[in-house]
A and B are shown apart, each in its own frame.
Chain A
Amino acid sequence: MKTTPEAQDGLISIPDSRPGSMGYRLLVAFVLLTSIGLVLGTAIIDVVNPLPKPKLMGAEKVERELQEKEAKWSDGSLARLIEDNYRITSRMRNGLAGPYATFLFRNLREGTKRVYVGTDGWMFMRSRVHMDPEISQLKIVGSSMMHAAISRRFATLGIRHILLPLPRKSSIFNRHLGIGLTSVPELDTQLIAAMEAAGVEAIDLYPSWSAWQGEAVYLRTDSHWSTNGVRIAAEQLATQSGLMIADAERVGEVVHGGRLPQPGGLFRIMNVEAGPGDEKYYETDSVQVLVGGRIPQDAGKEASLVVCGSSFSLFSELRGFLGYYTGKAVTLYPSPGAHPMKSILRMLDDRGEAGLPEILVEELPIHLILMWPPVRSTLGVRSDACKLLTMLKPPVTSTLDISSEAWTDKVSDGVKLTVKRGRYIGKVKPGFLARAGTGCAEVQLDVEVLEGDMQFKVVAGGRHLATQLSPGRQVLTLPIPSLEATSDQVGMALSCLPSTVTSSVIVHSMELVSAIDLSGAHPFEISTIQRAEEHFFVELTPKAPLRMKRHGTILLGLDQHSQEMGEVELTVTASGSGLSQGYQFTSVAPGGKIVFSPNLLIGELIKSVRISWEARAEAGLPGAPAIQSASYYPLAVKRGE
């Protein structure tokens, strides 16, 4: 083993420039021309003829637009956006990635950064394999609460809501992930338990799918179920929900259709063409139900059982098997690539109030649990869920349902607390009524983290807003994470990050604050309660001419003795243009505040604010909100950090 002699001065040394032989000159010319040609060629092609930016939809579009809007040099976000844009639009990159991916896959069985290639032809989405560390109890509780709220509302409409969470492929087939790489199904089991605890009827597929020894329940080269998986899921659903009918009542027959080639979507995601040698991995046993020799047709609006979900429920076999095991007419409302919320909205839209089904099965792939935290990319999902809750109208006043195990209000200010992993401390002040779409109602936390990274979460109306806290004292003001009118309780929670075992913290104060400057108020005249057909209303008129300004906020204070109501509509009307802006509150608690900012009427003279609510038929008397005070405040919004 010879080493190279160091240059005398310690600097890299090269021979003196010399003409060199013809061969040497040719070598130099070859290296320089090919290298410069490659670099310049790529740059020119990518600049002159870039690929169009992919058309984004839904949550991705929202996230991208926000990224572009907020990108700036000072924190590097603009630089990252430029790099990302180049990566997306580079024609050279996108043209070469496919052949290179094929080369790596064919020769080294190597996947891509999105797809993990395991043993024996099994492929997995990497993000779903590695998602366990991202789980937090709050995410699971948040998701459960939202589903519980949806379930309750369906129940009042006479619809039985059954949740069908789908275990992840990597949980069921972790033995195929590759030597030693395991994906523990903690998330799968925790979610089922949390859903059940929250009162959601959830079907647990994990035991039956993981114990199944026959043909695989997931396709090897795709993220979807195999027909066997569909069959077992339908059977389990019918059994666990008590919908299973006797064999004699069944219509149709289960037919084994032999081997069926299903080259999966994961090949496509890898940008690899499935080759002749790959059939052994994607050919699966086909099982289906035939009625009169045919696949049962979609029951359309007549179906008493509907399945809403993502692309997993695309398969017509699910309809067949559910019909076979439950004896009910079934319709599928798939929503490929989207969250089941979209599918449910579509179903409600399609069927209208008159044609609501008897049973709604919501098929929820467990990885979509991560769509619940209020990160930008999930705003679309949350917005859909809120739309759904608004559409379904609350049957009763419901406040945020926080389990006593996860939450406590016994935290004294200024006391040092040690928080162990998985335990939460928090403080919930009941009776606060807030709306925060424009940041006019906020929470404030004055906290000193002594050790370990922590997370501070604000919860309102089933939404969470979280921020990470590093050691040190800090005062945070966060807007209440609500995009639409809500009168739910607002909660705050401090917790360890999943990666931190123990955190110590001193909470100096943890308050719900209204950032409205109470000076310079314009009071309103409050009318008596009046009746119009099935509604009661109170009219508020400004005592002096009032022009709406940016961030102008109207604050209504409710009497402590105010009766609780299910739903309140609030309409602000401008006098000149006649424009109006409306709000709908899902509940109103006594002694709370209604805070709103009619931003669409900026510059308009405000004529009146009408608060109306449905008359209670049984009592014949209005459940009065008893508005104690009503004022307009010109500004002073403390924006959240």
Chain B
Amino acid sequence: MVFASGIFLYFFLPIFLAVYYLTPRKWKSLLIAVASYIFYGWWRPDFVLLMWFSTVLDYNCGKRIVVGQKLGGTGKPWVALSVIANLGLLAYFKYFNFGIDSLNAILVGFNGPVLSFAQVMLPVGISFYTFQTISYSVDIYKRRAEPVGNLTDFMCYVALFPQLVAGPIVRYNTIAEQLSERTHTVDKFYRGVLAFQAGLVKKLLVADILGEVADAAFAGGGLGFVDSWIGALAYTFQIYFDFSGYSDMAIGLGLMMGFRFPINFDQPYRSISITDFWRRWHVSLSAFLRDYLYVPLGGNRKGGVRTYVNLSLTMLIGGLWHGANWTFIAWGAYQGFWLVFERLTGKKALYSSTPRIVQVAITFALVICGWILFRAETLGHAGQYLSQMFGFSGHDVTGLALRPIHGAAALAAAIVTWGLPTTQGLLLRARAVWVLPLQAAFWLALLHLHFVSHVPFLYFQF
């Protein structure tokens, strides 16, 4: 099920919330878990079994870790089992096809036999919930959190439908207390509604409309210099508004249910460097990678060279997490390169000595170039697109079918990106000056939802 659909908005959500508020506190977790399974299994019920497997495994691993530690052990085998099993699931469902294809490409190069296997279908959201269950085992192992009291609460944590399929990644230690103790107030509900509305508006009125331009630009065929930049900009805004829109909706739904989820975006396109960008973009992922990968690898504690290696490796893996394709690996490498570059040059970086607005502009341009790698189907496609952006395409005609609605969406995107406070700011202030226009935009978004068939969120595929 997707948030931006009639079935979710008009039936699932109101029925769920009504039942939720009528249910005694002790049954709320069970209700959330059941509702989440319905939400998740709506299109593919069989994938719920996979989630149950992961849930039961990690619940038991958590218990064993604690028992082991109480008996004087470390609980290491159980945390290892949890990590290996979850990464194994992720590797199989997400990277098996990619691995076989890549291996076959090598084998063919050496005239070797070609391996053939049935294609594996990727369960939606597996990248998110496997990371969450890993965070549970590791947090218990590191004694950063107490193990969950019962299986129902853990089912609720893993399956929590607002953030199940596209984040934010909610680490166990950040939400452990809320699973058993959280408040429900009208004010919280109200702000949850605002966040949800903001997300829906971002998704329907900006991301989906600009997505048309991006799809046309990346569909292949030659584009001129201007058009390729327009296409790249359209995708830059599409991915931000799509993903941050989903995060806002997730945060809003969480608040309606009394949860406080992590902030996932903090005006990333106002960043003054790539390092700054990664503090603001998909914050829950970068924090996860930092705490569960970069730091365990040694972080910056083992000297300069090792720091750069760790940084690059973390970004490579972060890129691969987004998808099984060389383009994502290249995108991770690209991000890693700029992080290392900025760290190496420090204050001496060319753009760090420029005025803030120039720094923002340069960073934004670097981010846009990165999105080309992210969006392209293949590395060759990315190369071709980038060559167009830098005037090597040989095309100079306007090739994109731009309509006034695209201009309106782009203008709205620019205003929201650089002129308005973040969703966090909106929730903090919740003033009429923001809230009333948001209501109008929300009504328009609902109208638009009636008008178009639903378009899935981009981050469902990751």
Query: Footprint of B on A, CB under 8 Å?
Result: 1, 3-4, 6-7, 9-15, 17-18, 20, 23-24, 27-28, 30-32, 34-36, 38-40, 42-43, 46, 73-76, 79-80, 82-83, 86-87, 90, 92-93, 96-97, 100-101, 104, 107-110, 112-113, 117, 177-181, 448-451, 470-473
Once A40-B14, A109-B404 are accepted as A-B contacts, the answer to whether A4 and B428 lie under 8 Å apart by CB is yes
Q: Which residues of B (295-311) have their CB < 8 Å from a CB of A?
A: none
11 A-B residue pairs with Cβ-Cβ distance under 8 Å, sorted by A, are A14-B428, A17-B188, A35-B197, A36-B14, A83-B6, A87-B6, A108-B403, A108-B404, A110-B404, A178-B401, A472-B118
Q: Are A179 and B401 in contact (CB under 8 A)?
A: yes
Q: Which A-chain residue is minimally distant from B427 (CB atoms)?
A: A14
Task: Give every chain B residue within 8 A of A180 (Cβ-Cβ).
Answer: 227, 397-401
Q: Is B143 engaged at the interface, CB distance under 8 Å to the other chain?
A: no
Q: Are B270 and A450 in contact (CB under 8 A)?
A: no
Besides A1-B360, A90-B450, A100-B451, 4 other CB < 8 A contacts? A1-B267, A14-B187, A74-B46, A450-B116
Q: Are A4 and B44 in contact (CB under 8 A)?
A: no
Q: Are A10 and B10 in contact (CB under 8 A)?
A: no
Task: Give every chain B residue within 8 A of A27 (Cβ-Cβ).
Answer: 430, 432, 435-436
Q: How distant is the Cα of A10 from the Cα of B404 in the complex, in angstroms?
A: 39
B27-35, B254-262, B320-328 - the one binding chain A: B254-262
Least distance between A116 CB and chain B CB atoms (Å)? 9
Q: Is B114 engaged at the interface, CB distance under 8 Å to the other chain?
A: yes
Q: Which A-chain residue is minimally distant from B97 (CB atoms)?
A: A471
Q: Are B116 and A42 in contact (CB under 8 A)?
A: no
Q: Are A46 and B10 in contact (CB under 8 A)?
A: yes
Q: Is B125 engaged at the interface, CB distance under 8 Å to the other chain?
A: no
Q: Which B-chain residue is minimally distant from A3 (CB atoms)?
A: B267
Q: Are A17 and B185 in contact (CB under 8 A)?
A: yes
Q: Is B453 engaged at the interface, CB distance under 8 Å to the other chain?
A: yes
Q: Are A34 and B190 in contact (CB under 8 A)?
A: no
Which among B227, B403, B424 is the interface contact of A109 at CB below 8 angstroms? Answer: B403
Give the residue among A20, A39, A471 with the most B Cβ atoms within 10 A. A471
Q: Which A-chain residue is minimally distant from B11 (CB atoms)?
A: A43
Once A76-B43, A181-B401 are accepted as A-B contacts, the answer to whether A108 and B408 lie under 8 Å apart by CB is yes
Task: Give every chain B residue within 8 A of A12 (Cβ-Cβ).
Answer: 195, 251, 254-255, 260-263, 423-424, 427
Task: Give every chain A residue within 8 A of B427 (Cβ-Cβ).
Answer: 12-14
Q: Are B398 and A9 in contact (CB under 8 A)?
A: no
Q: Is B448 engaged at the interface, CB distance under 8 Å to the other chain?
A: yes
Q: How distant is the Cα of A83 from the Cα of B12 in the complex, in angstroms?
A: 12
Least distance between B443 CB and chain A CB atoms (Å)? 7
What does the 1/0 interface line of B354-378 toward A look like (CB < 8 Å)?
0010001000000000000000000
Least distance between B336 CB and chain A CB atoms (Å)? 23
Least distance between A272 CB and chain B CB atoms (Å)? 12
Task: Give every chain B residue within 8 A of A42 (Cβ-Cβ).
Answer: 10
Q: Are B267 and A4 in contact (CB under 8 A)?
A: yes
Q: How distant is the Cα of A14 from the Cα of B287 in the complex, in angstroms?
A: 21
Q: Is B66 engaged at the interface, CB distance under 8 Å to the other chain?
A: no
Task: Give every chain A residue within 8 A of B134 (Cβ-Cβ).
Answer: none
What does the 1/0 interface line of B86-106 toward A look like (CB < 8 Å)?
000000000000000000100
Q: How distant is the Cα of A73 from the Cα of B45 in the complex, in angstroms?
A: 7
Q: Is B72 engaged at the interface, CB distance under 8 Å to the other chain?
A: no
Q: Which residues of B (1-25) have their CB < 8 Å from a CB of A?
A: 1, 5-7, 9-11, 13-14
Q: Is B405 engaged at the interface, CB distance under 8 Å to the other chain?
A: yes
Residues of B within 8 A of A (CB-CB), count: 82
Least distance between B91 CB and chain A CB atoms (Å)? 19
Q: Are B6 and A90 in contact (CB under 8 A)?
A: yes
Once A39-B14, A108-B408, A180-B399 are accepted as A-B contacts, the answer to whether A28 and B418 lie under 8 Å apart by CB is no
Q: How distant is the Cα of A108 from the Cα of B10 in the complex, in angstroms?
A: 28
Q: Is B42 engaged at the interface, CB distance under 8 Å to the other chain?
A: yes
Q: Which residues of B (370-412) have their CB < 8 Å from a CB of A?
A: 397-405, 408
Q: Which B-chain residue is minimally distant from A1 (CB atoms)?
A: B270
Least distance between B228 CB and chain A CB atoms (Å)? 12
Which among B195, B255, B403, B418 is the interface contact of A178 at CB below 8 angstroms? Answer: B403
Q: Which B-chain residue is minimally distant from A83 (CB atoms)?
A: B7
Task: Give every chain A residue within 8 A of B432 (Cβ-Cβ).
Answer: 23, 27
Q: Are A471 and B45 in contact (CB under 8 A)?
A: no
What does the 1/0 interface line of B52-94 toward A look like (CB < 8 Å)?
0000000000000000000000000000000000000000000
Q: Are A38 and B14 in contact (CB under 8 A)?
A: no
Q: Are B283 and A13 in contact (CB under 8 A)?
A: no
Q: Is B186 engaged at the interface, CB distance under 8 Å to the other chain?
A: yes
Least distance between A388 CB and chain B CB atoms (Å)? 36
Q: How distant is the Cα of A451 from the Cα of B191 in the complex, in angstroms?
A: 51
Q: Is B350 engaged at the interface, CB distance under 8 Å to the other chain?
A: no
Task: Give every chain B residue within 8 A of A472 (Cβ-Cβ).
Answer: 116-119
Task: Give every chain B residue within 8 A of A17 (Cβ-Cβ).
Answer: 183, 185-188
Q: Is B442 engaged at the interface, CB distance under 8 Å to the other chain?
A: yes
Task: Give every chain B residue within 8 A of A96 (Cβ-Cβ).
Answer: 447, 450-451
Q: How distant is the Cα of A463 from the Cα of B132 in the complex, in angstroms?
A: 51
Q: How distant is the Cα of A4 from the Cα of B436 in the complex, in angstroms?
A: 21
Least distance between B109 CB and chain A CB atoms (Å)? 13
Q: Are B186 and A28 in contact (CB under 8 A)?
A: yes
Q: How distant is the Cα of A17 from the Cα of B13 in the complex, in angstroms?
A: 24
Q: Which A-chain residue is minimally distant from B261 (CB atoms)?
A: A12
Q: How distant is the Cα of A93 from the Cα of B114 in the complex, in angstroms?
A: 52
Task: Give every chain B residue within 8 A of A181 (Cβ-Cβ).
Answer: 216, 401
Q: Which residues of B (174-195) have their CB < 8 Å from a CB of A?
A: 174, 183, 185-191, 193-195
Least distance between A140 CB and chain B CB atoms (Å)? 23
Once A86-B7, A93-B6, A179-B398 are accepted as A-B contacts, the answer to whether A10 and B263 lie under 8 Å apart by CB is yes
Least distance between A421 CB and chain B CB atoms (Å)? 14
Task: Give every chain A residue within 8 A of B42 (Cβ-Cβ).
Answer: 76, 79
Task: Give every chain B residue within 8 A of A13 (Cβ-Cβ).
Answer: 260, 424, 427-428
Q: Which B-chain residue is minimally distant from A10 (CB atoms)?
A: B262
Least distance between A83 CB and chain B CB atoms (Å)? 5
Task: Give every chain B residue within 8 A of A18 (Cβ-Cβ).
Answer: 187
Q: Are B186 and A97 in contact (CB under 8 A)?
A: no
Q: Are B403 and A11 in contact (CB under 8 A)?
A: no
Q: Are A92 and B450 in contact (CB under 8 A)?
A: yes
Least distance between A25 CB and chain B CB atoms (Å)? 9
Q: Is B439 engaged at the interface, CB distance under 8 Å to the other chain?
A: yes
Q: How distant is the Cα of A10 from the Cα of B5 in the complex, in angstroms?
A: 30
Once A43-B14, A76-B43 are accepted as A-B contacts, the answer to whether A3 and B270 lie under 8 Å apart by CB is yes
Q: Are B187 and A11 in contact (CB under 8 A)?
A: no
Q: Are A43 and B10 in contact (CB under 8 A)?
A: yes
Which among B190, B254, B405, B439 is the interface contact of A110 at CB below 8 angstroms? Answer: B405
Q: Which residues of B (430-454) have their CB < 8 Å from a CB of A?
A: 430, 432, 435-436, 439, 442-443, 446-448, 450-453
Least distance between B364 CB and chain A CB atoms (Å)? 12
Q: Is B266 engaged at the interface, CB distance under 8 Å to the other chain?
A: yes
Task: Give every chain A residue within 8 A of B403 (Cβ-Cβ).
Answer: 108-110, 117, 178
Q: Which A-chain residue is minimally distant from B251 (CB atoms)?
A: A12
Q: Is B425 engaged at the interface, CB distance under 8 Å to the other chain?
A: yes
Q: Are A100 and B428 in contact (CB under 8 A)?
A: no
Q: Which B-chain residue is minimally distant from A449 (CB atoms)?
A: B116
Q: Are A32 and B262 in contact (CB under 8 A)?
A: no
Q: How distant is the Cα of A472 from the Cα of B97 in the complex, in angstroms?
A: 11
Q: How distant is the Cα of A181 from the Cα of B402 in the complex, in angstroms?
A: 9
Least distance between B53 CB and chain A CB atoms (Å)? 18
